């Protein structure tokens, strides 16, 4: 039972990390693209 809870917690943390990193990366790529377009 404890293992299932631990695995679920790890999965949630991984999903949140991927979502956060994905949005941060896309915003960074957007700002780089805007800088290139403005150059």
pLDDT, tens only, 1-39: 789 999 999 999 999 999 988 888 888 888 888 888 887
Read off the tokens for 18: 């991927």
Distance CA 19, CA 36 (A): 26
What does the angle CA 29 – CA 14 – CA 1 come to, to the nearest 5 degrees? Answer: 170
Q: Which pLDDT score is estimated for 14? A: 94
pTM above 0.75, yes or no: no
- The Cα-based distances of 29 to 2, 17, 38 in angstroms read 40, 18, 14
- Residue ranges of domains in the chain: 1-25
CA 21 to chain centre: 2
């Amino acid at each position: 039972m404890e293992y299932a809870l631990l695995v679920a917690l790890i999965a949630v943390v991984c999903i949140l990390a991927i979502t956060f990193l994905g949005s941060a990366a896309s915003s960074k790529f957007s700002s780089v693209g805007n800088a290139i377009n403005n150059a």
